[in-house]
């Protein structure tokens, strides 16, 4: 096994080809160890060259609601008020720390997704 850093697209392609060959290697075997190291090197290369941005907080809430078959009323039960659920889903209210905690605890949405800055429609009481 010759482990080397993946620095180029050609190195990356070769690493993927080798990974495919040894994919079913047994844990603890020589090829199994190579598979582990190769997986780490590929992961490092991919996170540096193909970063995936976190989703928009409101879209993440909507997606999680869909996964759980939640209605807006279900979300209101989590947040404590029907109007609050509506305001958040319609981007008329920012997520407070208390709301972030509830969404994380009850819907299991990662806090790093929920704390991001996002666009919302600020409604002013001043006309």
Q: pLDDT tens digits, residue range 8-24?
A: 999 999 999 999 999 99
In the CATH hierarchy, which fold is given to the domain comprising 57-114? 434 Repressor (Amino-terminal Domain) (1.10.260)
How far is it, in rounded angstroms, from Cα 112 to Cα 55? 10
The pTM for the full model equals: 0.63
Alpha helices (H) in the chain, listed in sequence order: 9-22, 30-49, 57-67, 72-79, 82-89, 97-107, 111-114
- Cβ distance 4 to 34 under 8 Å? no
pLDDT band at 113 (very low <50, low <70, confident <90, very high): very high
Where along the chain do its domains lie?
9-49, 57-114
Say whether pLDDT at 127 is over 70. no
* Encoded tokens for 92: 């008329």
Q: pLDDT tens digits, residue range 50-102?
A: 998 899 999 999 999 999 999 999 999 999 988 999 999 999 999 999 999 99
How far is it, in rounded angstroms, from Cα 55 to Cα 2? 37
């Amino acid at each position: 096994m010759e482990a080397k850093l993946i620095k180029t697209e050609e190195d990356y392609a070769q690493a993927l080809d080798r990974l495919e060959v040894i994919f079913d290697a047994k844990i603890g075997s020589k090829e199994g160890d190579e598979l582990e190291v190769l997986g780490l090197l590929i992961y490092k290369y991919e996170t540096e060259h193909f970063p995936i941005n976190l989703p928009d907080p409101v879209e993440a809430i909507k997606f999680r609601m869909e996964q759980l078959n939640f209605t807006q009323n279900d979300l209101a039960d989590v947040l404590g008020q029907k109007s609050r659920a509506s305001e958040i889903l319609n981007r008329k209210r920012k997520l407070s720390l208390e709301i972030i905690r509830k969404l994380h605890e009850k819907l299991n949405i990662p806090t790093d997704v929920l704390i991001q800055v996002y666009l919302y429609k600020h409604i002013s009481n001043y006309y």
